[in-house]
């Protein structure tokens, strides 16, 4: 059992899945743990269970005087911003503030493959996990896509590889986090309400490679200028990928094939995952998987059978010639652009959600095949304005997902694509993008059974 946390006084700030897992782990490792969560104790099942273990819990508010108790470390929930008074006060007092992936990295006997980027993380993480099956070391899925990272790390062995999806929120809270292989997919203006500026957002993402050495690897998008800039300041061995040019060294596309260095690996026509953006995810995944010892036949098998992840351009069903797709995980403009560019058929787009201050002008060029917009949520007026400027004649407003799906179908014809790709976070109406996607799928199923 790891001794580095034994006897240390640690505050876990914010529960949810990651906070609870961190508190339990630290308690098992012999730390003196206090949990502070904003949800009132009476409604807080997680806090009640932790207290039964013997962990001190303080619920309902974040009292600043709590920091007078001499904590050496704060493990904060990634969603809590650094502007939160207790977080900024902890930093002022010189207390180390981290997220739970720092704990995972510190205690893991297994090497870590970490994946970040504004878009494509979940698909790439899943691809790498599938590609590493049947290799010498068993892959374990962790992070936003699977089990909390520190929980996976505690039970991992040297015979495992942890495949870990990481966000900028998590990366910002790292000090010594050091993956064996880092994957940096792309960078787009996202989460600026949290990070403030694109430079700060890039700085957070860049932490994925900041502690890597020449013994480690960075797989990166050579077509993305900001990502390339980070890569060329990294000490890791660089593995570039590009869908736009022949790299000679790295992963690239040529004559309808995917190449690794100067050797062809798989024919693009045989890959079942749709969309140009998924080709980037596939190249990144191959680079990471090969580096960690994946077998080429396993990589080929995955590419010829993998149809995508839930809520990410997920094919729901075909009904009366209409094809329904759930892309609820498109929580920013770039993700929706890439989804829209995956189709050349007439499209009915369902979009809208939390207003983070973005304007949506960048979406306009991708609306070329959109004949109807059904919009909802806080951003509905902004999206309607852009759709109008793009020449879309039919713009409809909906309050709920069921109404949106009904309107979309009503204005569709055989051969059309009906696509939920919101370009916004879900938190104005739904707890998670998964809940939003599930509502869409349910609405599609109910509508098509009734008709």
What does DSSP say about strands 111-116 and 217-221: parallel, antiparallel, or unpaired?
unpaired
Q: Which residues are 59's β-sheet partners?
A: 37
Q: How far, rounded to the nearest angstrom, does the alpha carbon of residue 108 sit from its chain's CA centroid?
A: 21
Give the pLDDT band of residue 119 (cuts 50, 70, 90).
confident
Q: Is 186 in a helix, a strand, or coil? A: coil
Fold of the CATH domain 101-305: 3.40.1190
Residues annotated in the binding site for ATP, as ranges?
117-123
Name, in order, each residue with C-beta under 8 angstroms of 426's C-beta and a sequence gap of 6 or more: 328, 331, 353, 354, 432, 433, 435, 436
CATH number of 9-98: 3.40.50.720
Burial of 187 (0-12, 13-18, 19+ CB in 10 A): buried
Token digits of residue 437:
């996607």
Specify the pTM.
0.78
Q: Which of 246, 269, 239, 233 is nearest to 128 (CA)?
A: 239
CATH number of 314-450: 3.90.190.20
Residues annotated in the binding site, as ranges?
117-123
Query: What share of the chain in percent tops pLDDT 70?
Result: 97
Query: Where in the chain do CATH 3.90.190.20 domains reside?
Result: 314-450
Query: Where in the chain do CATH 3.40.1190.10 domains reside?
Result: 101-305
Name, in order, each residue with C-beta under 8 angstroms of 347's C-beta and a sequence gap of 6 or more: 340, 369, 370, 371, 416, 417, 418, 419
Please give the Cα distance from 204 to 240 (Å, whole number).
20
- pLDDT tens digits, one per residue of 34-44: 999 999 999 99
Helix ranges (DSSP H) in 292-432: 296-305, 333-340, 380-389, 401-410
Q: Which of 364, 368, 346 is nearest to 423 (CA)?
A: 364
Burial of 136 (0-12, 13-18, 19+ CB in 10 A): exposed
Please give the Cα distance from 181 to 38 (Å, whole number).
36
- pLDDT tens digits, one per residue of 83-110: 899 999 999 999 999 999 999 999 999 9
- pLDDT tens digits, one per residue of 291-338: 999 999 999 999 998 877 888 888 888 899 999 999 999 999 989 998
- pLDDT tens digits, one per residue of 361-370: 999 999 999 9
């Amino acid at each position: 059992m790891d001794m580095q946390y034994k006897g240390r006084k640690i505050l876990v700030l914010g529960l949810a899945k990651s906070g609870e897992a961190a508190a339990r782990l630290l308690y098992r490792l012999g730390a003196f743990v206090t949990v502070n969560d904003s949800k009132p104790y009476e409604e807080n099942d997680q806090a009640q269970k932790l207290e039964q273990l013997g962990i001190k819990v303080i619920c309902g508010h974040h009292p600043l005087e709590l920091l007078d108790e001499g904590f050496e470390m704060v493990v904060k929930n990634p969603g809590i911003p650094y502007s939160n008074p207790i977080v900024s006060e902890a930093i002022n007092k010189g207390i180390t503030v981290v997220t739970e992936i720092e704990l995972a990295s510190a205690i893991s006997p297994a090497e870590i493959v970490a994946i970040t980027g504004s878009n494509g993380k979940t698909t790439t993480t899943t691809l790498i996990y599938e590609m590493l099956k049947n290799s010498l070391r068993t892959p374990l899925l962790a992070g936003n896509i699977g089990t909390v990272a520190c929980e996976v790390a505690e039970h991992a062995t040297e015979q495992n590889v942890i495949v870990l999806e990481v966000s900028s929120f998590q990366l910002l809270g790292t000090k010594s986090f050091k993956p064996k292989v880092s994957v940096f997919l792309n960078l787009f203006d996202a989460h600026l309400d949290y990070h403030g500026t694109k430079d700060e957002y890039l700085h957070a993402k860049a932490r994925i490679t900041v502690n890597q050495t020449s013994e480690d690897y960075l797989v990166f998008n050579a077509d993305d200028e900001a990502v390339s800039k980070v890569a060329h300041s990294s000490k890791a061995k660089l593995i570039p990928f590009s869908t736009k040019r022949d790299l000679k060294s790295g992963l690239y596309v040529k004559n309808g094939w995917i190449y690794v260095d100067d050797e062809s690996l798989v024919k693009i026509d045989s890959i079942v995952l749709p969309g140009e953006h998924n080709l980037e995810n596939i190249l990144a995944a191959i680079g990471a998987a090969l580096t960690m010892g994946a077998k080429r036949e396993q990589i080929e098998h995955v590419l010829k059978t993998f149809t995508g992840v839930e809520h990410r351009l997920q094919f729901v069903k075909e009904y009366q010639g209409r094809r329904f797709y759930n892309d609820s995980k498109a929580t920013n403009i770039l993700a929706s652009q890439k989804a829209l560019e995956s189709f050349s058929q007439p499209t009915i787009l369902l979009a809208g959600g939390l207003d983070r201050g973005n304007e949506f002008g960048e979406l306009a060029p991708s609306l070329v095949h959109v004949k109807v917009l059904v919009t909802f949520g806080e951003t509905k007026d902004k999206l309607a304005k852009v759709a109008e400027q793009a020449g879309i004649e039919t713009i409809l407003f909906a309050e709920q997902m069921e109404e949106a799906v009904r309107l979309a179908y009503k204005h569709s014809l055989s051969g059309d694509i009906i696509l939920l790709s919101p370009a916004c976070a879900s938190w104005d109406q739904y707890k998670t993008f998964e809940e939003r996607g599930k509502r869409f799928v349910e609405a599609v199923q109910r509508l098509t059974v009734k008709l």
